[in-house]
């Protein structure tokens, strides 16, 4: 069994509802009552594509699924919520990124863990900190050393729906 962290992002078709629906689906992958979901945040889109603001959150749970089976399960949830990817870095109804799989480093054609961009993204680090303030990343960095007030200021905390 490992503890995994998954980033959720959506910016189309009632994004906060997309996140809550995805969280329910993710919870079915969790062992016991291990499932946790951060608050949702509104964030300005990263990248050059003009698109609506995102809603982002992070989930954490224990699972006995191996990495690629977990990835398949995440992609099935994305597809079930009507994900179509028209543009690389473009808008989407739901994006689920596997951030961390225990303390493992994984490099496969389909999957790189830890997620390559996570240490630079306020919309990942801040909700991750909400649910795991004491987390040490596999590279040895303490999450608390990465989460600054200026990162928090980039996000708008949303009320629960």
Binding residues for ligand ROI restricted to 67-106, rule: CB under 6 A: 89, 95
Q: Return the number of the residue (45 or 138) whose C-beta is nearest ligand ROI.
A: 45
Q: What is the DSSP letter of 66?
A: -
Residue with tokens 């079915």: 28
Q: Return the number of the residue (53 or 64) whose C-beta is nearest ligand ROI.
A: 53
Task: Tell me which stretch binds ligand ROI (CB under 6 A): 17-25, 40-48, 66-74, 134-142.
Answer: 40-48
Q: Does 47 bind ligand ROI (CB under 6 A)?
A: yes
Contact present, 44 and 154 (Cβ < 8 Å): yes
Using DSSP, state whether 112 is helix, strand or coil: strand
Q: Does 127 bind ligand ROI (CB under 6 A)?
A: no
Least distance (Å) from ligand ROI to the CB of residue 92? 7
Distances from the Cα of 7 to the Cαs of 37, 91, 116, 139, in angstroms?
Answer: 10, 16, 12, 19
Q: Which two tokens stand for residue 137?
A: 């990343």
Q: Does 30 bind ligand ROI (CB under 6 A)?
A: no
Q: Does 56 bind ligand ROI (CB under 6 A)?
A: yes
Roughly how many angstroms between the first and final C-alpha of the chain, as a whole number? 31
The footprint of ligand ROI (CB under 6 A) covers 9, 43-47, 54, 56, 89, 95, 123
């Amino acid at each position: 069994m490992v503890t995994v962290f998954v980033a959720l992002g959506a910016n189309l078709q009632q994004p906060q509802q997309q996140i809550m629906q995805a969280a329910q689906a993710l919870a079915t992958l969790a062992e016991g009552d291990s499932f946790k979901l951060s608050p949702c945040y509104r964030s300005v889109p990263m990248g050059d594509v003009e698109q609506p603001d995102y809603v982002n959150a992070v989930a954490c749970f224990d699972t006995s699924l191996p990495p690629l089976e977990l990835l398949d399960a995440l992609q099935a949830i994305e597809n079930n919520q009507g994900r179509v990817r028209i543009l690389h870095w473009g808008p989407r109804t739901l994006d689920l990124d596997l951030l961390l799989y225990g303390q493992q480093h994984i490099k496969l054609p389909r999957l790189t863990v830890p997620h390559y961009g996570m240490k630079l993204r306020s919309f990942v680090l801040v909700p991750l900190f909400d649910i795991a303030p004491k987390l040490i990343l596999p590279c040895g960095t303490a999450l608390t050393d990465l989460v600054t007030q200026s990162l928090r200021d980039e996000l708008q905390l949303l009320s629960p729906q």
